[in-house]
């Protein structure tokens, strides 16, 4: 049993043992706080061989101190003050800095008070094995405790406490090594007060502390290691002011926003511009806004100019005069790294403090060295917010911002939540359950962002689950991209046919409503070709020779509009969802799965309703005529791409089905050739496929690039043909409200950078005057040594383009209908109504245009169509990003799995150079990454090269498009548990990789 005692506190010492202070609460009330303190004599000094102290635990300080410094040949102990830790933490953490340290409680608490992240680093340092640090609890030792006297600042009191402790140690050491009469006195180690504070040192000298030193001088005295340590010495350490007591006035950090009415008037008046705020992915101090008035996005540099705008907000900006325009910085600045020592609880008195000064320095440095001839962009600042687009963000709790991480702690804490998306700032939130939330994905919403607060303030919504658990990651993805994923409600399911999955096409009898105006195509040899494992088959094909020598080809699309009637709950829900979202291991359906994977899915051997487009084509694939009809089909086979390919190539088979596939293929090849000749682009995007171990565990085992077969192209060509024919038809019938899809030609400025890089690095030119010219010049971008170079250029070129969008034919002028990528004057989406809502709308319009039904009133209204298409466009974009993010997560998991077994090394191409790093693209895995370097590599912005000191000798120069080998690792951020892929350069070998 433990010994329980009563600590006696002598009455006479009440002044020393009681502390009274006044505290102002958040509401402005003043509260008197009385605390007591028990002074004791059993606080150990930590020096080996000391018989006067009682020591519990391991003694860390050697009895003779350290003799490394040339000033103190008799050995010494170092007692640093608070400023040393606040300013020179890197030095203190260094392995080369190893004198025995006495860390005073006063110092420890002051560090804790000033910056929790620094305190946590300090604590980790105390615990580490290779440091000799003894924490001396001077405030609890009866001989070293000090009391704040009248008119003394807390800081002066702490300094006095530190000096008193140093004095105590000095006298204590003489007790440890008493001079025995007749013997030569033993050398007495010195106790050195390490401080950069002039006043403190002077006072110390007055009080008889002879040995105090500036950090720089002390480091000099360390001799051999000092050069390495000098690098770590932070510049601000020289003779600084005493730690200023926290100034109490709350200072506005950001300019106030203009009121909304002023903003709107300004936008209308033309001197303000409105646009969506986009944060930079690489540099948290930079953002941009695309506006109609400027061809380039308007650049916003620095916190003040971004003025509390969050990714996605609609902001009003003021553009500076042209002489103040700047170019974006070529440097990667990570929020975490730059602000890791920032403190969550500083809200009370965030002034113009070190952090802000540092940020400014970073920005100015860049400006100073920034290339003068770089292309300048319009630059401006945010003056008002038109609309906040805040939502719930998926975050991780930053564990270093916690003041108490014990699982049992119930105290309310202010902590940082780091959003998963790098485009968002850290969010400050107050919670009582912080310790429980560490290592979890949580949902946080932003409540407000005051001008006086550096970070937005938010609150905790709910926990999603453990980091890296599949469920949490999946849900967080869906939330992050705003994908509606709730199960379908009863009202929606009630719209399904009451027969459920036993629904079948009714027998063909006259006057049956289902068979009205439907062609019976059940005898046609129709087949579908899809990726393996596809359940929602929405297209099927057939082809046959006609007696006149021409070919009849048909595309049959699931007749979703037969089941989904306009303006019922199911339709409304589908319109809101916009599209089906495909994750690696999950599909979030747009329509209930009864329709998607059963009734509408054109499965083989069952009768299904379809909407058919049937062409008569000449053997040269010229369209003779086209007709559209509702139909009933019975697919004869569901091929995968590979099966269809094998079937087609198998010369022994000559049945009707195979012949049909061959016929389709020959037509498709001609169609494609014609399309290419017209100037269609052959673009590339890094698509990879994830191999899952089994359906249940869904542990990824490998990643592979998607292979493209001839049959892929077959299906694609006929779908394009159908879409184009349908687009023409509905545009003719409904010139005002036809649902179409277009791809605007990219502005030539988008290509400037790529053109410049290609010219300078490879001597190649890119002609972007038209899609045909671009296609031709892309074909010429070859490097005989790098076979994948062409694909890489295509990927980069794709990124320069705009994304395709749905639009309402009556809302834009006729000459902007074109689809740039496909080089088609008109285009729409008709072929996947199960998974895209735009196709459902097109189906309804087509049905009306062939007189099958009348058009629902909503599709006559331009506003309604526009509004629906806005939603669909947004959902479509989000769905793409979700899918990509999901693949990325699985690539990460696969890498991690591989990384445990062996080192993952992959070939990568440099696609971007930064002042302090390289952007690389690993084509095999389809991922992009950053390789960062320490120090100051020589950066040539003009030639896109980075010159680094080599690990062996001399220097290496790396340029854009160079092939390098990188080592890929997936590691979790120690503090936030946010997983990230880190890459380091393996070949060419360089020194100082980060």
Partner 1 sequence: MASRVEILNDGGFRSDGRKQYELRDIIIDLSQQGSADGSVVLSHGLTQVSASVFGPREAKMRSQTLHDRANINVEVTIAPFSMGERRKRSRNDKRVLDFASTIKATFEPAIQTSLYPRSQVDIYINVLQQDGGVLQACINATTLALAAAGIPLLDFVCAVTGGVQSASPLLDLTTLEENDIPHLTVAMMPRTGNITLLTMETRLHVDRFEEIFQLATSAGHVLHREMKAAIKDRTRTLVAAMSVAPKAVGEKDPVYSERMDDS
413 near partner 1, judged by CB under 8 A: yes
> Can you tell me the distance from the alpha carbon of 38 to that of 716, in angstroms, rounded to the nearest whole number?
81
Task: Locate all alpha helices (DSSP H) within 543-601, ordered by sequence.
Answer: 569-577, 593-594
Among 26, 28, 32, 763, binds partner 1 (CB under 8 A): 32
- In the complex with partner 1, which residue's Cβ is closer, 3 or 321? 3
Given 68, 96, 123, 867, the residue binding partner 1 (CB under 8 A): 123
Q: What are phi and psi of 850, to 5 degrees?
A: -95, 10
752 binds partner 1 (CB under 8 A): no
The 3 state secondary structure assigned to 797-850 is HHHHCCCCEEEECCCCCHHHCCECCCCECCCCCCCCCCCEHHHHHHHHHHHHHC
Q: Does 29 bind partner 1 (CB under 8 A)?
A: yes
The contact pattern for partner 1, residues 293-332, with x = CB under 8 A and - = no contact, is: ----------------------------------------
Widest distance between CA atoms in the chain? 129
Note whether 23 binds partner 1 by CB under 8 A. Answer: yes
Binding mask 76-105 for partner 1 (x = CB under 8 A): -----------------------------x
Out of 41, 171, 174, 404, the only residue in the binding site for partner 1 (CB under 8 A) is 404
129 binds partner 1 (CB under 8 A): no
Q: What whole-number distance in Å separates Cα of residue 100 and Cα of residue 191? A: 10
Q: Return all residues near 906 (Cβ < 8 A) that are at least 6 apart.
A: 922, 924, 925, 965, 966, 968
- Residue 353 — φ and ψ, nearest 5°? -100, -170
What are φ and ψ of residue 596, in 5° steps? -60, -45
The window from 409-417, 572-580, 798-806, 838-846 that contacts partner 1 (CB under 8 A) reads 409-417
Could you say which of 53, 93, 140, 386 contacts partner 1 (CB under 8 A)?
A: 140
56 binds partner 1 (CB under 8 A): yes
Q: Which of 12, 15, 26, 35 binds partner 1 (CB under 8 A)?
A: 35
Q: Does 126 bind partner 1 (CB under 8 A)?
A: yes
* One residue of 16, 37, 152, 825 binding partner 1 per CB under 8 A: 37
Q: Are 706 and 687 in contact (CB under 8 A)?
A: yes
Among 135-143, 466-474, 815-823, 943-951, the segment contacting partner 1 (CB under 8 A):
135-143
Site string for partner 1, 345-364 (x = CB under 8 A): x--x----------------
Tell me the CA distances in angstroms from 570 to 164, 764, 967, one per residue in order: 78, 53, 49
Query: In this chain, which stretch among 18-26, 193-201, 629-637, 822-830 interacts with partner 1, using CB under 8 A?
Result: 18-26
Residue 426 sits at the vertex; the CA angle it makes with 424 and 427, to the nearest 5 degrees, is 110
55, 68, 96, 112: residue in contact with partner 1 (rule CB under 8 A): 112
Cα–Cα nearest to 169, from 69, 78, 60, 70: 78
| Count of CB atoms situated within 10 Å of the CB of 349 | 14
Give the relative orientation of helices 116-127 and 105-114 as an angle to the nearest 10 degrees: 140
Calpha distance 458→435 (Å, rounded): 18
Regarding 248 and contact with partner 1 (CB under 8 A), the answer is no
Query: Is residue 250 a contact residue for partner 1 (CB under 8 A)?
Result: no
CB of 71 within 8 A of CB of 92?
no
Residue bearing tokens 């099966």 = 643
Residue 3 contacts partner 1 per CB under 8 A: yes
Q: Is the dihedral of CA 436, 438, 441, 442 positive or negative?
A: positive
Interface with partner 1, residue 399, by CB under 8 A: no
Select from 1-9, 82-90, 232-240, 364-372 the region that touches partner 1 (CB under 8 A).
Answer: 1-9
User: Least CB distance from residue 249 to partner 1, whole Å?
Assistant: 17
Instruction: Candidates 33, 235, 292, 368: give the one binding partner 1 (CB under 8 A).
Output: 33
Judged by CB under 8 A, which of 61, 86, 135, 617 binds partner 1? 135
Q: Does 18 bind partner 1 (CB under 8 A)?
A: yes
- Confirm or reject binding of residue 12 to partner 1 (CB under 8 A): no
Q: Which of 41, 52, 199, 411 binds partner 1 (CB under 8 A)?
A: 411
Q: Does 803 bind partner 1 (CB under 8 A)?
A: no
The reply to whether 188 sits near partner 1 by the rule CB under 8 A is no
At closest approach, how far in Å is the CB of 407 from partner 1? 7
Pick 44 or 328: Cβ nearer partner 1: 44
Q: Provide the 3-class DSSP secondary structure of residue 238.
A: coil
Residue from 58, 184, 323, 406 touching partner 1 (CB under 8 A): that is: 406
Whether the Cβ atoms of residue 193 and residue 76 lie closer than 8 Å to each other: no
Other beta carbons less than 10 A from residue 379's beta carbon: 21
Q: In angstroms, what CA-CA distances link 919 with 245, 460, 733, 899? A: 43, 34, 49, 21
Residue 251 CB, shortest distance to partner 1, in Å, is: 19
Q: Which is nearer to partner 1, 2 or 695 (CB)?
A: 2
Q: What gap in Å lies between CA 400 and CA 418, rounded to an integer? A: 12
Q: Which is nearer to partner 1, 348 or 365 (CB)?
A: 348
- Which 3-state string (H, E, C) describes 202-219? HHHHHCCCCCEECHHHHH
- Which CB, 398 or 888, lies closer to partner 1? 398
- The nearest distance, CB 444 to partner 1, in angstroms, is 20
Q: Please identify, among the stretches 136-144, 563-571, 594-602, 766-774, the one whose residues bind partner 1 according to the rule CB under 8 A.
A: 136-144
Which phi and psi angles does 11 have, rounded to 5°? -60, -40
CB of 609 to partner 1, least distance (A): 59
107/595 with CB nearer partner 1: 107
Query: For residues 244-270, b (16+ Cβ closer than 10 Å) or e, as one string?
Result: eeeeeeeeebbeebbeeeebbebbeee
Q: Which residues of 883-917 are buried (b: 16+ CB within 10 A; e: fewer)?
A: bebbbbbbbbbbbbbbbeeeebebebbbbbbbbbb
Chain residues in the site for partner 1 (CB under 8 A): 1-9, 18, 23, 25, 29, 31-40, 56, 105, 112-113, 123, 126, 135, 137, 139-140, 345, 348, 403-404, 406-413
């Amino acid at each position: 049993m433990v010994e329980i005692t009563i600590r006696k506190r002598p009455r006479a010492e009440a002044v020393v043992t009681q502390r009274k202070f006044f505290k102002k609460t958040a509401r402005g009330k003043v509260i008197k706080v009385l605390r007591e303190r028990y002074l004791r004599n059993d606080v150990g000094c930590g020096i080996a061989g000391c018989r006067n102290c009682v020591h519990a635990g391991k003694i860390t300080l050697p009895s003779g101190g350290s003799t490394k410094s040339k000033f103190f040949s008799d050995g010494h102990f170092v007692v640093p003050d608070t400023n040393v830790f606040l300013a020179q933490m890197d030095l203190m953490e260094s392995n080369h800095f190893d004198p025995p340290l006495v860390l005073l409680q006063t110092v420890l608490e002051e560090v804790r008070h000033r910056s929790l992240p620094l305190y946590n680093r300090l604590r980790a340092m105390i615990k580490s094995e290779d440091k000799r640090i003894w924490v001396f609890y001077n405030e609890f030792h009866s001989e070293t405790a000090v009391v704040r006297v009248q008119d003394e600042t807390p800081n002066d009191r702490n300094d006095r406490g530190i000096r008193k402790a140093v004095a105590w140690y000095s006298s204590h050491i003489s007790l440890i090594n008493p001079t025995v009469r007749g013997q030569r006195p033993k050398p007495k180690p010195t106790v050195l007060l390490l401080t950069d504070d002039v006043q403190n040192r002077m006072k110390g000298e007055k009080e008889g502390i002879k040995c105090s030193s500036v950090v720089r001088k002390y480091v000099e005295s360390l001799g051999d290691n000092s050069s390495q340590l000098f690098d770590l010495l932070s510049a601000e350490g020289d003779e600084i002011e005493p730690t200023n007591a926290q100034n109490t006035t709350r200072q506005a950090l950001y300019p106030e926003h203009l009121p909304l009415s002023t903003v709107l008037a300004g936008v209308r008046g033309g001197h303000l511009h409105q646009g969506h705020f986009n944060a930079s992915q690489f540099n948290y101090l930079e953002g941009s806004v695309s506006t109609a008035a400027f061809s380039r996005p308007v650049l916003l540099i620095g916190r003040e100019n971004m003025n509390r705008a969050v990714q996605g907000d609609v902001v009003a900006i003021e553009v500076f005069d042209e002489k103040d325009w700047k170019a974006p910085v070529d440097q990667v600045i990570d929020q975490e790294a730059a602000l890791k020592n920032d403190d969550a609880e500083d809200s009370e008195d965030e002034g113009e403090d070190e952090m802000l000064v540092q940020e400014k320095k970073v920005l100015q440095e860049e400006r100073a060295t920034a290339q003068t001839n770089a292309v300048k962009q319009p630059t401006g600042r945010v003056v008002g917010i038109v609309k906040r687009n805040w939502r719930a963000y998926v975050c991780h709790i930053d564990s270093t911002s916690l003041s108490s991480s014990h699982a049992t702690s119930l105290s309310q804490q202010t902590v940082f939540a780091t959003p998963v998306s790098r485009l968002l700032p850290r969010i400050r939130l107050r919670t009582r359950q912080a310790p429980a939330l560490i290592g979890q994905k949580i949902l946080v919403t932003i409540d407000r962002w005051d001008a006086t607060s550096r970070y937005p303030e938010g609150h905790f919504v709910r926990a999603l689950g453990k980091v890296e658990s599949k469920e949490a990651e999946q849900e967080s993805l869906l939330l992050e991209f705003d994908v509606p994923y709730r199960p379908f409600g009863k009202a929606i399911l009630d719209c399904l046919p009451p027969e459920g999955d036993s629904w079948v096409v009714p027998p063909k009898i006259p006057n049956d409503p289902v068979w009205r105006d439907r062609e019976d195509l059940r005898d046609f040899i129709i087949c579908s070709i899809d990726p393996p494992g596809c359940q929602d088959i929405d297209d099927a094909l057939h082809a046959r020779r006609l007696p006149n020598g021409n070919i009849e080809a048909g595309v049959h699309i699931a007749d979703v509009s037969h089941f989904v009637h306009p303006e019922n709950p199911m339709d409304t829900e589908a319109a809101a969802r916009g599209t089906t979202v495909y994750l690696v291991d999950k599909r979030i359906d747009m329509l209930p799965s009864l329709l998607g994977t059963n009734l509408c899915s054109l499965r083989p051997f069952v009768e299904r309703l379809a909407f058919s487009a049937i062409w008569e084509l000449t053997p040269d694939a010229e369209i003779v005529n086209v007709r559209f009809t509702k139909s009933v089909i019975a697919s004869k086979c569901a091929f995968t791409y590979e099966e269809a390919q094998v079937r087609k190539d198998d010369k022994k088979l000559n049945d009707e089905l195979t012949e049909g596939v061959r016929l389709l293929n020959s037509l498709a090849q001609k169609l494609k050739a014609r399309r290419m000749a017209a100037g269609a682009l052959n673009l590339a995007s890094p698509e990879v496929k994830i191999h899952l171990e089994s359906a249940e565990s869904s542990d990824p085992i490998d990643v592979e690039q998607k292979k493209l077969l001839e049959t892929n192209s077959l299906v694609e060509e006929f779908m394009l043909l159908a879409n184009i024919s349908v687009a023409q038809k509905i545009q003719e019938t409904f010139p005002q409200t036809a649902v179409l899809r277009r791809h605007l030609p990219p502005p030539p400025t988008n290509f400037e950078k790529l053109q410049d890089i290609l010219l300078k690095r490879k001597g190649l030119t890119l002609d972007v005057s038209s899609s045909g010219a671009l296609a031709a010049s892309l074909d010429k971008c070859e490097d005989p040594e790098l076979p994948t170079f062409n694909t890489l250029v295509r990927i980069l070129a794709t990124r320069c383009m705009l994304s395709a969008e749905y639009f309402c034919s009556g809302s834009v002028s006729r000459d902007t209908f074109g689809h740039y990528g496909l080089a088609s004057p008109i285009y729409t989406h008709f072929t996947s109504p199960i998974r895209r809502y735009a196709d459902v709308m097109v189906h309804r319009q087509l049905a009306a245009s062939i007189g099958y039904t009348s058009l629902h009133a909503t599709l006559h209204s331009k506003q309604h169509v526009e509004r629906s298409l806005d939603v669909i466009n947004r959902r479509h974009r989000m769905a793409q990003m979700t899918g990509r993010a999901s693949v990325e997560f699985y690539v990460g998991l696969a890498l991690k799995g591989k990384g445990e077994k062996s080192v993952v090394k992959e070939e990568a191409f440099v696609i971007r150079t930064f002042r302090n790093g390289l952007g690389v693209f690993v084509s095999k895995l389809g991922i992009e990454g950053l390789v960062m370097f320490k120090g100051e590599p020589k950066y040539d912005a003009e030639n896109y090269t980075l010159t680094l000191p080599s690990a062996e000798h001399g220097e290496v120069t790396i340029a854009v498009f160079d092939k390098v080998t990188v080592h890929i690792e997936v590691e979790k951020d120690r503090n936030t548990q946010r997983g990230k892929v880190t890459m380091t350069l393996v070949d060419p070998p360089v020194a100082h990789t980060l």
